[in-house]
Amino acid sequence: MDKRPGKIFPRNLTARASYQAAGNPAVTRLEDVVANCYPGLELDVRNFERRFFPGLIFEFVARDDNTASYTEPNRYGAWLRYVDYLLDPELQSEAPEAKRLLVDLMVHAGALGANGDWYLEWVEQGGRRLSMSLHNPDNPDYPLDGLYVWRLLRGLAPGALKIGLKRRAGGKEIVFEGWRRHFTDPVTGVINGAYQPGELLQSLCSPWQHDFRDCACMYWASNHPDAVFQQIEPGEPTLPGGQAADPLLANLKIDWLRAERSRDVTAAAGNTIAKNRPYQFDHFQINQEWQSLNVVLHDREIGSVYIPPREGLANPFASPEELARELREKLGPMEMALALEYLYARFSLLTPEEAGKSRWSTMTEDVTFIRGCLMIIATCEMQHLRWVNELLWILYDAGLTASYEPVLHPAAKLPDGKGGWRESSLRRLTPDALNDFINIERPSGFLDGAYSKVIATLRSPIYPAHAVELAERIDSDGVDHYSRFREVEAALKAYDKAEPPFPYLRALEVGGGEPVAGALAIYQNILDDLDEGYKEYARERFAEGAPLVNAARSKMNDLLKIGEKLAASGVGIPFWPQK
């Protein structure tokens, strides 16, 4: 608000332009909108095709759901709704094609108006004809679903076009020679004058409601939870970490869009969209019921009462130096050790091809799933290692610490999840190893608490504002890892009684000497590249650092390949010297 007492008045155009009038913000302009075919937030681009041909207005009749069967084929397609030759601006032009078409439309208007079942039968452009019916060699032709017809019409180019209309009841065709309209002016971008105000908005996204279920461009799907843990009612017994004491409740993932909301009948979410669909709110129900969908925090549905996790109670470190020491000496090396332990464990699993040869029918799927989990979690830890380094160089760049050296060595000891410590060790994914993994990632386990202090410290205004976000991201990943390991645990339960034990594992021993020299060389190169790259980043030389970090990443792929080869012959890479 302008507090000056005086007044000014702009005389000329540039003076007037310096005043920004209140009004619709820039994002409501057409060039800024989210408009697509799904249907769009500001306009539905599909509505252009309703008037693709001058003088005719179509409606695209489709099935309710593109997985539904063809129950009423005679209704589907591009249905002629209206003949508009009086007001269509393109028919008022003096051009001979326009005059011819106008006459044609006038001549046939009576026939077209007399019956309500005229549909688009075919289009022809550039000498090629496209039929709007599916031709079956063995069965009668049937009309294409309206959305398919729409999609075919979308492929037309503006310009000369011939179309054929036919009644569903049968009879002669009417052929029109015209053109596909320019939907927008090729120079100015202005929407063609044939479209009436509001016409392009007749179908729109229905955010927060319908689209939770049916958004086909996955925008909404990517913005809402799908499988979540059930809420814990106040009073239900919980473990110190906050998760339910009841193991069923603690591990059960349910479908966020389920129609049956009562606690007693909760079933686990299926692992595909199609499997869950029948039990979800239907696409009209959701418009009413969306308000009963639950807020989800930390992967868990929240009912009416939300109890924030402990982190608010952590004490900050006394100084930036202390914080840096913690990151440098404890947390960074821990992330690295974990990443390597997980990676090693992954090498110990059979590949899907190897598993296919076993007598266990589900093993291929299981090892694929578990290898996937381990890769995700290992990569996550590597990302945490990167972020720990980033926090350290942020502190250095802000002048809060005296120096920055990259942290790229694994810790010798890791928390055992029961208050004590264990040796870091490269092991196969035996139940003991898996147990250790679960314990360290457990919410309220060591890792969780460790970052709470970091977060509490970084909230102080002396630290750069974005640093705390990195720490929060590391922290929030913990819940995800824990639940994934629990799922792995559940998957491996099937092999509990196997003889010989652990049929899903390779015979793997930590190697040494000549056979692993190549792998270790690549590993060292990766560390060297990261070391140099991070140093460049710390000096804000991003253009110089990026190629180094990228080189390290591509070498990681090489390491994976060579690691698999070695593991197939029972040799594990000694990421650190073994005792």
Partner 1 sequence: MIFPRFPDASPDVHLFDTEFGPHALLADASQVFALDEETTEDLKRAAGLGPGAAREALGLSPSLASVMEAPRDPPLRSLSLAVAQSCNLGCSYCYAQEGSFGGKAKEMAWRTAETAVRRLFADAEAGDALHVSFLGGEPLAARELLRDATELAVALAREKGAIARFSITTNGTLLRPEDGEFFERHRFAVTVSLDGVGAVHDRLRPFKNGRGSYQRAIENVMPLLAMQRRMQISARVTVTPDNLNLREALDGFAELGFGSVGFSPVLRSPTGKSQLRESDFEVLLEQMIACGREFERRTLRGEPYPFANLHSAMREIHRGTHRPYPCGAGAGYFGVSADGGMFACHRFVDDEAGAMGNVETGVDRARQRRWLEERLVDRQEPCRSCWARYLCGGGCHHEVIARGRPACDFIRGWLEYCLQTYVRLSVLRPDYFGGAGVAEGQAAVDVAALS
Interaction between residue 22 and partner 1 (CB under 8 A): no
Spatial distance between the Cα atoms of 454 and 331, rounded to a whole number of angstroms: 10
Report H helices in 398-466.
431-441, 446-458
Pairing mode, strands 509-510 and 571-572: parallel
Spatial distance between the Cα atoms of 256 and 248, rounded to a whole number of angstroms: 17
Q: Which is nearer to partner 1, 8 or 465 (CB)?
A: 8
Q: Which residue has the tokens 């000369």?
A: 160
Q: Which is nearer to partner 1, 15 or 267 (CB)?
A: 15
Shortest distance, CB of residue 28 to partner 1, whole angstroms? Answer: 21
Shortest distance, CB of residue 190 to partner 1, whole angstroms? Answer: 16
Instruction: Point out which span in 10-18, 299-307, 532-540, 565-573 binds partner 1 (CB under 8 A).
Output: 10-18
Q: Which is nearer to partner 1, 11 or 497 (CB)?
A: 11
Q: Which is nearer to partner 1, 26 or 169 (CB)?
A: 26
Among 21, 22, 187, 265, contact with partner 1 (rule: CB under 8 A)? 187
Question: What part of residues 446-465 is at the interface with partner 1 (CB under 8 A)?
Answer: none
Q: Which is nearer to partner 1, 187 or 265 (CB)?
A: 187
Tell me how many degrees the CA angle 279-284-288 measures, rounded to the nearest 5. Answer: 95
165 Cβ neighbours under 8 A, 6+ residues apart: 80, 112, 118, 119, 120, 121, 173, 174, 175, 176
Q: Which is nearer to partner 1, 6 or 461 (CB)?
A: 6
Shortest distance, CB of residue 341 to partner 1, whole angstroms? Answer: 55
Among 6, 23, 140, 278, contact with partner 1 (rule: CB under 8 A)? 6
Question: What part of residues 51-110 is at the interface with partner 1 (CB under 8 A)?
Answer: none
Shortest distance, CB of residue 17 to partner 1, whole angstroms? Answer: 8
Over its C-alpha atoms, the chain yields an Rg (Å, rounded) of 32
Interaction between residue 15 and partner 1 (CB under 8 A): yes
Shortest distance, CB of residue 90 to partner 1, whole angstroms? Answer: 21
Phi, psi of 364 (to 5 degrees): -60, -50
Among 12, 139, 222, 304, contact with partner 1 (rule: CB under 8 A)? 12
Shortest distance, CB of residue 23 to partner 1, whole angstroms? Answer: 16
Interaction between residue 20 and partner 1 (CB under 8 A): yes
Question: What track of x and - describes contact with partner 1 for positions 494 through 513 (by CB under 8 A)?
Answer: --------------------
Q: Which is nearer to partner 1, 14 or 222 (CB)?
A: 14
Q: Which is nearer to partner 1, 20 or 222 (CB)?
A: 20
Q: Which is nearer to partner 1, 19 or 353 (CB)?
A: 19
Shortest distance, CB of residue 101 to partner 1, whole angstroms? Answer: 26
Cα–Cα distances in angstroms (integers) from residue 528 to residues 127, 183, 258, 266, 396, in the given order: 63, 57, 50, 51, 21
Q: Which is nearer to partner 1, 4 or 128 (CB)?
A: 4
Instruction: Point out which span in 14-22, 45-53, 330-338, 341-349 binds partner 1 (CB under 8 A).
Output: 14-22
420 Cβ neighbours under 8 A, 6+ residues apart: none
Say whether 177 sits in a helix, a strand or coil. strand
Segment (H or E) for 160: strand 159-167
Beginning with the edge strand found earlier in the chain, give each strand of the sheet holding 300-302 in spatial order: 253-255, 227-229, 300-302, 295-297
- Long-range CB pairs of 335-338 (<8 Å, 24+ gap) are 335/381, 335/382, 335/384, 335/385, 335/388, 336/381, 336/382, 336/385, 336/407, 336/408, 336/409, 336/410, 336/411, 337/410, 337/411, 337/412, 337/414, 337/424, 338/378, 338/381, 338/414, 338/440
Spatial distance between the Cα atoms of 309 and 516, rounded to a whole number of angstroms: 45
Spatial distance between the Cα atoms of 211 and 554, rounded to a whole number of angstroms: 39
Interaction between residue 188 and partner 1 (CB under 8 A): no
Q: Which is nearer to partner 1, 187 or 318 (CB)?
A: 187
Q: Which is nearer to partner 1, 17 or 274 (CB)?
A: 17
| Cis status, amide bond into 39, omega within 30 of 0 | yes
Q: Which residue has the tokens 């002048």?
A: 399
Interaction between residue 26 and partner 1 (CB under 8 A): no
Q: Do 504 and 495 contact (CB within 8 A), yes or no?
A: yes
Interaction between residue 189 and partner 1 (CB under 8 A): no
Shortest distance, CB of residue 185 to partner 1, whole angstroms? Answer: 13
Tell me how many degrees the CA angle 473-475-477 measures, rounded to the nearest 5. Answer: 75
Question: What part of residues 329-348 is at the interface with partner 1 (CB under 8 A)?
Answer: none
Cα–Cα distances in angstroms (integers) from residue 73 to residues 3, 81, 280, 399, in the given order: 68, 18, 27, 72
Q: Which residue has the tokens 């030389």?
A: 541
Question: What track of x and - describes contact with partner 1 for positions 143 through 182 (by CB under 8 A)?
Answer: ----------------------------------------
Instruction: Point out which span in 7-15, 123-131, 298-306, 481-489 binds partner 1 (CB under 8 A).
Output: 7-15
Interaction between residue 7 and partner 1 (CB under 8 A): yes
Specify which residues 238 forms β-bridges with.
244
Q: Which is nearer to partner 1, 13 or 26 (CB)?
A: 13
Shortest distance, CB of residue 179 to partner 1, whole angstroms? Answer: 20
Interaction between residue 10 and partner 1 (CB under 8 A): yes
Phi, psi of 231 (to 5 degrees): -75, 155
Spatial distance between the Cα atoms of 225 and 546, rounded to a whole number of angstroms: 33
Pairing mode, strands 174-180 and 159-167: antiparallel
Among 5, 170, 197, 500, contact with partner 1 (rule: CB under 8 A)? 5
Shortest distance, CB of residue 419 to partner 1, whole angstroms? Answer: 59
Cα–Cα distances in angstroms (integers) from residue 465 to residues 314, 328, 395, 453, 457, in the given order: 19, 20, 11, 16, 12
Instruction: Point out which span in 2-10, 245-253, 287-295, 402-410 binds partner 1 (CB under 8 A).
Output: 2-10
Q: Which is nearer to partner 1, 15 or 86 (CB)?
A: 15
Shortest distance, CB of residue 19 to partner 1, whole angstroms? Answer: 8
How many residues bind partner 1 (CB under 8 A)? The answer is 18
Q: Which residues bind partner 1 (CB under 8 A)?
A: 2, 4-15, 17-20, 187
